[in-house]
Amino acid sequence: MIEERIPYHDEKAWEEYIAQLSHLYVKIEGVLRLRDWLLEEAGDRTVDALLKENKIWEKVLFGGLNEDGIAKNGLARFYSEILGFGITREDMERIVSYLKEGIDLESASSGVKPKLVRTNFTDLLRSMRENLVEIFDELGRKPPTVGEISLSSPMTGPQVVGELLSAAKELLPLFNPMSCFIVSICSTPRFYLEKSYSKLFTEDVQELLRQYGIVLEDVILPDLPLERERKRRAVVGLKPGTVGHRIYKVILDCYRLFQIWELGDFFGVEDEFEKYLKVYSERLKDTIPLDELKNVYRAITSSYSYNDDFNSLRVPDPFRVYKRNATINGGKLKFESGPQNGVNYTEFIAFIAPLAFCGFAVLEGQDNKINCQVIMGWES
């Protein structure tokens, strides 16, 4: 049973999950504090002064130096491209030109000061930290205490970033059943959730989930006359601004970490989102009866225009993302472009339900309008 594999109804499991989020926060804070330490320790001093003070700066600022500059996987490139601390390209080119003239490193770097700049990596970490702090605040908990960070070795930087990547990977849905649960309830037809999670809508479980800020609301309500069927065929999802929705954003950010191409030069990272799509593609092939729901499939994929990003995540070939807008009128769903006679709403949610449950689709609704992002390519 799925309740045994995904203990969404177990308070102990949620406490352990919050502990994992806390662990991620500690690792993020450690990286950002190390970056701040580098700037504070360097102060307003020039590179030659730093080199005279401690040889550790030579590795941080010039590790991997050759006649062409810093090697692709050089330690200095890690500090500059990942943490944003280092010597500008123009200054490095000038220093290298001096070295080629036989001038020693200290003299060649005289008057040059290291700079601190923003990087994709550090910007993402700040976003993750902000969401995690909001999660702790909503839960009435203080963020975990983080100890002092300093550069005890040139490899301290790669070490703390490596630990962060490990903490982030542990939260990805392929490895974490609670993250899998969060993704599955982001915006999914209610009937499918009732079938998949038999205890989800019981009062006891709903009360437990609310205790941890996991709040579901109606995302799309179909235009059907029977209230019972209207509720059953609704799409429900995580309420924006709640802990659950923020956790969903943290999970997406964890995936984004593994799509920062610069990290690949220093760590054996793979695109974890691509791995996830490939694993779940095989499951979806056995779940969605394309022959029976071909009208919906054609309506979604009828546009020749598609994207390669899903919730700001890069989606590789053979996958493609269709972003469609539609209107509900009675039992029909009419797309802005595509079949003019529309598709049956019930068939649409039958098609989209397993995709949304597996994180291959997200839906938003307002009044009778629907916006959806759907990842296709799994069917080929």
What ranges do the domains of the chain cover? 11-171, 272-379
pLDDT at 202: 97
pLDDT bin (cut points 50, 70, 90) of residue 338 is low
Residues ≥6 apart with Cβ < 8 Å to 331: 222, 223, 224, 344, 345, 346
CA distance 287 to 265: 38
Looking at residue 152, the DSSP 8-state letter turns out to be: S
Q: Which residue has the higher pLDDT, 147 or 310?
A: 310
With CA atoms as reference, report the closest residue to 29 among 143, 153, 156.
Answer: 143
CA distance 32 to 130: 12
For residue 318, whether the previous peptide bond is cis, meaning omega lies within 30 degrees of 0, is: yes
Average pLDDT, the chain: 93
**Mean pLDDT value of segment 325-338:** 83
Provide DSSP, 167-222. HHHTTSTTT-HHHHHHHHTSEEEHHHHHHH-TTTTSHHHHHHHHHTT--EEEEE--
**Mean pLDDT value of segment 190-212:** 96
11 phi, psi to nearest 5 deg: -60, -40
Please tell me whether residue 116 adopts helix, strand or coil conformation.
strand
Please tell me whether residue 119 adopts helix, strand or coil conformation.
coil
pTM here?
0.94
